[in-house]
Structures are given as C-alpha cells and as structure tokens.
Structure 1
Amino acid sequence: MLAAMPPVPTPKPAPGAPRVRERGDACPGALRLHSADDGHLARLRLPAGRLTARQVEVLADAAEALGDGRISVTSRGNAELRGLADGCGAELAALLAEAGLLPSATHERVRNIVASPAAGLDGLGAADVQLWARELDERLCAAPWAAALSGRFLFVLDDGRGDVTGLGGDVTLVAVDPRTALLHLGGRAVRVAAADAPRAALAAARVFLSAARAAGTGAWRVRELPEGSGLDVRDVRDVRDVRDVRDARRDGREALAAEEVSEPALPQGPPPAPGPLGPAALHVLAPLGRLTAAQLRALLPADEVRLTPWRGAVVVGAGPDRTPALDAAGLITRPDSPWAGVSACTGRPGCAKSLADVRADAVPGRPGLPVHYSGCERRCGHPHGDWVDVLAAPGGGYLVDGAPVPRTDLAPAVTTARTAPRTTR
C-alpha cells in the first residue's frame, strides 16, 4: 500500500528554454516514502506548522518507535522522520491518521502552507493568518482537483510583517489590514476582502493549474511556466467549483471580488528572533534543524506548537519562565546564541550524494547571517535570502561562499563570512 519512492533526476533545461517536466512529482510524503541510505524518509505536511499537544506526543512516539528518534524541521515548517524501517508505512499512517495529522490521503503532499508563526500572538500583524491557513487547508483537502498540484507548490500567508514573503511562495497572501489582503501570483497582485482570502488563494492555485495544462510543460511551480503561458492573477475572479477557468467564465454564480493593484510590492521583514513572542509564547530553534523526541516533548505543556520555516518552534501558551527548561533541553532560546541560524542538510551517512558528515563538521561562527552546510551541490534545505554557503568539496575540506577552506579552519572562515558586509545573493 505504501511505496518507498527512489529519487527522480530532473534534467536541466537549455539556457533560455522553459523547463519541461516529463515525469510526475516524486516529492516524498507521509504515505509515499523516500528511500535513503539511513532508511526510509517520511515528510509530513503541517499547514502553518501547527501541532496540537496530542500531535506533538504522537510525532515524538513515532520517531522513537519507527525511526531514528529525531524529527527534522524543514524550511517550510514541515516535519520529517528518518531512519524508518521497511514495512512500517502502514503503522505510521495509522498513527498519523488517528492523531488527525493525515486528513486526506489523496491531498497529503499538497498541504504546503506557510503562515507567519507569530500571527495572533504579539500584536504586530495586520490579521491572524493562522486562521486563514486552517480554512485554506480545509478547502484544499475538499477540492478533488487540488490533488493535481505538485508536492512542491507552496502557499505563503503573511500577516503583513513580511517575515515569510521571501520564502518563494507560488501563491502569496499578505494581510493589509483586518479587512483587506493582497493576493500575489506570477508577479502581479489583486486586492481581496480578508474574508475571501483563503478562497482566493485556492482559486489562484486553480488558475496556475489551468495555465500549466495549457503550457504542456508539466510545470510544478509558477516560476517554471514558460513566458506567455497566460497566467493572470485576475482570473481568480472567474474561478468557482468547476473544471477550469474557461468553464468558470460560462458559470453564472457570483464571482470573487478582486481589484488589480499596480506595481505591487511584497513587504520584507526579519524572522522572529529566538525568545518571547508577546506575553504567552516563546520561539525556540532546533540545533541544526533537528529535534530529538525528548526535545520535541520538552516543548510541552503548550496550547499548541507551530513549527517554523527557520527550523524552530513557537510554543503557544509558554511564558518567559519556561526558557531555562527549554535551554536545558538543548534548544536555542536566545538570539545571541552562535548556533542561531545555523542549518545543515542530512549529509553522511544518511545521504549517498553527500561528500561529508556535515552535521559533525558544522561549527557556528559568531552570530550573524544564516549559514547552511551542504554535503553536495544540491544544497538541500538551504535558507532563502542572504546566507553563508558552506559546501563540502571533493577530496575533503569545504568551500565557504566559494573559497576553499580546510576543515580545521572552518570556524574563523565561517565567523568572517557571517559578519562581513555583503550584497544579497
């Protein structure tokens, strides 16, 4: 019933030519496992990163009973279990389904929804986009056509502070005020009512699928569509529960109100620092993006836990008095920690493509720019925006932003790179 899928190589297009996807998306999920050198991998989509206290316990138990005892937090705020044994897929699926973590077997890989993790907690956002995320997820799972989206297609919901707009969303919603939102798609934007925002985001995904079918290139992401594909965010006004945009234009039901915005700009803001978020929430980071089952349980008690795109967790319902205990559990609780912003791919021995055990080799350097350690040129899981690139080199050593550095000299080289002035990559 549950298959472990081998990686599918994707040919690179010729310069200037549109990317053509000749195979379906093999992105792993909770039901379609990926085979790695350290066992199978399951990727669990968590819209807005949200976990109830019960789900935190179930995820920790699953990691210990079926995997290697750790949970990786992805750059989309999702969770990965590694080291899964052959034949455990059905048991894992049953555990996840019982905990409400698998609401749709047909849509589980397309529930890629990132939302501002501090929304509704610190009073800084224009709207509580966490509520939008829940409604969008319900609508997404209820739409049969949405199962055709790629497992890499991404919805981004920003509460106006600009903390998640830089994550490369295919469909991006930005709260303007409690009554209004901007919907961004393909470099253009329309203004919609906040009450219609989740419906508009789903309509935008359907507009993309219509354009992708017309292009015939098998595009998984908006940026893969060829020029002249006909993608137009204004078409969300015509999308309803019908087969495609052309059918929608013949449908007589009320259209979505959407006013085009000229020269729309996405707000840009920093991610929340580790530490308190308002009076009753804390943001902590996972060392190198991985939590042990014990560290995940250390987040409890909590009203809920929100995994973040910066490989951390927002503990809702926790005050500053919880900081010493979370610190003692090995979590990163302060912005001045040298490990804040340091991440790494799986590396050896889990990944056959890696040239080094990057997690063992990683050093933090002085706090500054994010830094990511990669075992190969794929740079899996690297941050968005500006970051220090530490890449394992053939024959040993590393390239730090392209400069060769011996393993023994990594610490000073990374410190210099994290603190030196630079232009955005």
Structure 2
Amino acid sequence: MPPTSPTPVNRDEAPPRAAVEAPPRERGDACPGALRLHAADDGRLARLRLPAGLLTPRQAEALAGAAERLGDGHLDLTSRGNVQLRGLGGSCGAELAELLRDAGLLPSETHERVRNIVASPLAGLDELPSADVQLWARELDGLLCASARAAALSGRFLFALDDGRGDVAALGADVTLLARRDGSAVVRTGANRSGARVAPEDAPRAALLAAETFLTFAEASGASGSGAWRVRELPAEDGRELEAAVRARLADAGIGTESVADATGPDPDPDPNRSLAPSASAGAGPGSEGEPPLPGPVMSPDGTVALSVHARLGRLSVAQWRLLATAANGPLRVTPWRGVIVPGVAPAAADGVLDRLRTAGLITDPRSPWHGVGACTGRPGCAKALADVRSDAAAAVSRHGSGGLPVYWSGCARRCGHPQGRWVDVVATGEGRYDISVQADARPVTTTGTKLADAVAAARTTPLTR
C-alpha cells in the first residue's frame, strides 16, 4: 500500500507502551554480560556494564584492545550507557574476563550483570546546579556488589540517578533517584508518579533497598507464573503496593522519608530567567532541563569544555573510540543516548577536536543528518532480524537527511534498544517490508523499496497535537 502520514500524536496521552514492551517472561534471564557471552550470528557478544557510563582513559584503551584483538574492531553503545563487544570468538571468554579484571571493570563476578546504573551525563560539567550523582553511582555500585540479595536482580533491571534536570528520570527505570533543588532526593519505583523524599546521604542505600523490596514482590509474582524482571512487569496490584512497601523498608532501615506527590521531573526553577547550561559556541545547546545532551560543546564551570559526541547508529570503530579517549582530560562518560561526553578540553582546542571527530564520522552537531537516527543490530548479526536495518537506515538518511522526530529502525517486533519518549517506529516485517508508525500507532503504514525513505521522512515531520 502507498505510504501515508501517520496519525498525529496527542502530547497529553501516554504512549501505548504495551505495543513496544515485552510481556513478563517465564524462562530464566539470559541477558548477556561480560562473563555470560551471547551467541549471535556474527559471533559471541559481551555486554559490559558501566555504572554512570564512566571509563578512565586506561579502561577505554583496554576495551579498544579487546575489540581489536578479540572482536570485530567495533564498540556498540547501548541505551543504558553500556558497551558491547561483538564478533568475539567462542573460546575468548577467559581472556576477556582477565583483561576486564586487570582494568578494574569487573569488581564482582556474581553481580556484573546487575550493575545497570545510568546517571545524568552532564552533571557537574555544565552550569546547571546539580547533585553529585557520580558519587551516588559509585556508592550504589559498591552497595549492589556487596549485597547477596541484589545478585538475584535481572540483567534488565535499571537504576537511574538524575541530578535534577529530568533527563535520565524519563528513561523508564525500575528505581529512580531524582535530586531536588532543596538538596534532598526522591526515590521512585517504576512508572509511579509519587515517591519518597530522603536525605541525599541516604539516597544510594534507599535505591538498593527499593530494588531488594521489588525482589520480594517479583518472587511472589513468579510463584503465580508471571516471573517479573522489571517493575512494570509486576501485576497491577503489586505495582501499586510496591511504593508503600519501599517506604516501610526504608523506615525499618532507619531512613526518614516524606511523601512527594509528583516526582516525575525537575523542580520548577525559582528563577525562570536564569540561563541554563550555556554552550561554548552559539547553537550547540546541550544540557537543557529534561532533555538529553545534544551533540556539541558545553562550557564547564572550571573553564574547560566538555564535548558531547554521538555515534552513528550507536557503533564506534576502534579508531573513533581512541580519538575520543585521547581528547579527554578525565573519565569518558558513555550516555544512555548512544553518545559519549569528552570532558576537560581546553577552550582553544575545542573546535579543532570537534572537527577531527566530525571528519572521523562521529556526530558533533545536532544538524547532522545522522542525529536522532537509531537502529538495532539487524541482519546479519541477529538471527531474529528480518532485515539489514542499518543499511536501510543509512539509505534513508542519504535520501532525506535529518529533521523531525527521532527514528528507530528495528529488525523485528522485539524492538531491542528502542528509545523512550516519542519517536518514529520503523519495524521490519519481512520480504523487505517495514511497518512505520509514530509511537507504535495502532494503524502503521506498511511500505517497501524506494517509498520507504519517503514514508520515514513523512513520519518524522508529523505534527504533534496538544
């Protein structure tokens, strides 16, 4: 059928999540890790958890060496700020584990898959007042690795530590810590709008206790056959009761709490005229409240420049990765939007570094035709994929360039790694065909061939109604 414009989306309505989220599973959690390698069609796959996305230059070089020597020479960035190595040989597991241990990237073999912690990537690197979520992340990671109970969490369970700007709070995490302007933090579970206010020094421990409380509910639901791995997979009545159970658990642990009715985003700014997160050059604009960092430079409080750089379709060659690592003066921060923050660049050198990164094929400007375009692995790497989505996405970019809503190309209906919020959903259905919709519209457009790029471009410019 010929492509038509998708139905407009009402911003006041929640997106139909049931269309894009997998139902509760009954089999064991097979989520890959650094030690549990996944057998893909292009070789073994390792997924390395990076709490808050942090990587020292030495650790970044260790991953580059692993990708070069053991894998396919690329590093994939995930929607949780983690790094994947693909094309690994079937017998390289022991060598990879030793390399990661030596680099300090494997602090607990029993907990390595549950260290899913995202944090506001620009915290402390722009001029927006923020909590020290990097400190929270380090403390929470230590608490997780020391908790025998926490080892039972699924490899899909996610913690989000938001410095108050509302960026990672919008990622649909299972446990969210949201910093408030008064210095406190709110702990929130799943999609609950409300939460429990705690003192900032108690925030990491409160997050761990919330996760352990979820496990009690998950085990009870598992006995009835649902086997929940995420908060959203709990039966509705359990999800409603979880928040009260978390508050009771915190009280038992001596953590004082106060109810907060709406903990879904940043506090209102008492000074609406204040300029937030000014960039180092006009038009770059990363770091506005509630939004992920755009590609470009950001002026840091210490007078240096942090560079926000995205990877095309989330993939970096070893050469691109090393360019990022050598440009940084401090730890890299891998973001949940398949980007990397490069801190500590001298202002006089920032434009030159950005130009080198752009020339190397990285996204350094929001006007890049690749900005906002994402894709899963697709063929030939994934056995379940019905199309080579990366090639098709590249062809669409070449035809129409950039603009409009983010777009995500999926090789099958599982939509692995799809974004949160509103996006154009492009899903392969076989025989070269794709269903195209805005936010998993119930009436997708089905198209193929040369009309595909036109239909995607039309969907990205669909007006959103209020």
Taking structure 2 as the reference length, the TM-score comes to 0.81
Task: Tell me the CA shift for residue 422 of structure 1.
Answer: 2.8
SS in 1 for 2:98: helix
Contact 1:190-1:234 within 8 A present in 2 as well: no
Q: How far has the Cα of 1:238 moved from its partner?
A: 4.9
Asked if the contact 2:157–2:230 (Cα under 8 Å) also holds between the matched residues in 1, the reply is yes
Q: In the comparison of the two structures, how many residue pairs are matched?
A: 398
Supply the AA of the counterpart residue of 2:75: I
Q: Deviations over 1:318-359 (max 9, x none)?
A: 242321111122110001111011111111111111121111
Q: How does 1:106-121 map to 2 (within 5 A)?
A: 106-121=110-125
The alpha-carbon deviation at position 23 of structure 1 amounts to: 2.6
Mapped to 1, the partners of 2:367 and 2:85 lie a distance apart of 29
Counterpart position of 2:74: 70
Residues in 2 aligned to 1:278 and 1:161: alpha-carbon distance in whole angstroms? 17
* Residue 448 (structure 2) pairs with residue 406 (structure 1): yes
The answer to whether 1:419 aligns with 2:458 is no
Residue 418 of structure 1: how far off its partner (Å): 1.5
Distance 1:346 1:409 in 2: 23
Q: Does 1:308 align with 2:335?
A: yes
**8 Å Cα contact 1:234-1:258 kept in structure 2:** no
Q: Distance in 2 between matches of 1:368 and 1:350?
A: 29
Question: Which residue of 176, 179, 186 maps to 2:180?
Answer: 176
| Distance across 2 between alignment mates of 1:72 and 1:355 | 20
Answer yes or no: is 1:204 the counterpart of 2:228: no
8 Å CA contact retained: 1:38, 1:83: yes
2:27 equivalent in structure 1: 23
- Write the distance in 2 (CA, Å) between the matches of 1:386 and 1:21: 26
Tell me what 2:440 maps to: none
Question: How far does residue 298 in structure 1 lie from its aligned partner after superposition?
Answer: 0.6
Q: Which moved more, 1:228-237 or 1:257-266?
A: 228-237
2:308 and 2:341 in contact (8 A); partners too: yes
User: 2:367 pairs with 315, 320, 336, which one?
Assistant: 336
Tell me, in whole angstroms, the C-alpha distance in 2 between the residues paired with 1:162 and 1:423: 23
**In structure 2, how many angstroms separate the alpha carbons of the residues matched to 1:171 and 1:39?**
33
Residue 289 of structure 1: aligned partner? 314
Cα offset, 1:95, TM superposition: 0.5
Quick one: higher RCO (CA 8 Å, sep 6+), 1 or 2?
2
- Which whole-Å CA distance do the structure 2 matches of 1:393 and 1:206 have between them? 39
Q: What do the CA deviations read for 1:284-304 (whole angstroms, capped 9, x no partner)? A: 000111011111101022111
Distance in 1, matches of 2:368 and 2:120, equals: 23
Residues 124-170 of structure 1: CA deviation (Å, up to 9, x unaligned): 14312122111111111111111011111110111111111121100
User: Which has the larger displacement, 63-72 or 350-359?
Assistant: 350-359
* RMSD (Å) for aligned C-alpha atoms: 2.2
The yes-or-no answer on 1:224 pairing with 2:233 is yes
**One-letter identity of the residue aligned with 1:193:** A
Residues 391/265 of structure 1: CA separation in 2 closer, same or farther (3 Å cut): closer
Tell me the secondary structure at the aligned position of residue 351 of structure 1. coil
Distance in 2 separating the partners of 1:423 and 1:47: 37
Counterpart of 2:345 in structure 1: which amino acid?
A: A
- Residue 326 (1) aligns with residue 335 (2): no
Pairing 1:360–2:396 present: no
Per the alignment, residue 244 of structure 1 pairs with: none
How far the C-alpha of 1:399 sits from its partner, in A, is 2.5
Higher mean C-alpha displacement, 319-328 vs 309-318: 319-328
2:308 corresponds to 1:277: no
CA contact (8 A) 1:234 1:260 kept: no
Q: Read off the aligned partner of 2:227 and give its amino acid letter.
A: G
Letter in 2 for 1:154: L
Q: 1:160 to 1:263 in 2, by over 3 A?
A: closer
Where does residue 7 of structure 1 map in the other structure?
A: none
Distance in 2 between residues matched to 1:423 and 1:211, nearest whole Å? 39
When residues 423 and 359 of structure 1 are mapped into structure 2, their CA distance, relative to the original with a 3 A threshold, is farther
How many percent identity over aligned positions? 61
1:24 Cα offset (Å): 2.1
* Equivalent pair of 1:69/1:292 in contact (CA under 8 Å): yes
Q: Residues 213 and 404 from structure 1, CA distance in 2 versus in 1: closer, same or farther, beyond 3 angstroms? A: closer
User: How far does the alpha carbon of each residue in 1:216-248 deviate from its partner, in whole angstroms, 9 at most, with x for none?
Assistant: 3421111111133374334445548xxxxxxx9
Supply the AA of the counterpart residue of 1:375: G
Counterpart-to-counterpart distance in 1, 2:119 and 2:129 = 11
TM-score normalised per structure 1:
0.89
Matches of 2:43 and 2:144, distance apart in 1: 31
Contact 2:53 2:81 in 1 (8 A): yes
**Quick check: 1:394 aligned with 2:404?**
no
Q: CA, structure 1 residues 178+132, in 2 after alignment: closer, same or farther (shift >3 Å)?
A: farther
Q: Output the CA distance in 2 between the equivalents of 1:235 and 1:50.
A: 32
1:127-146 correspondence to structure 2 within 5 Å: 127-146=131-150
Are 1:373 and 2:415 counterparts? no
Question: Is the contact made by 2:35 and 2:97 (CA closer than 8 Å) also made in structure 1?
Answer: yes
Match of 1:6 in 2: none
- 8 Å CA contact 1:180–1:192 kept in 2: the answer is yes
The whole-number CA distance in structure 2 between the counterparts of 1:285 and 1:404 is 30
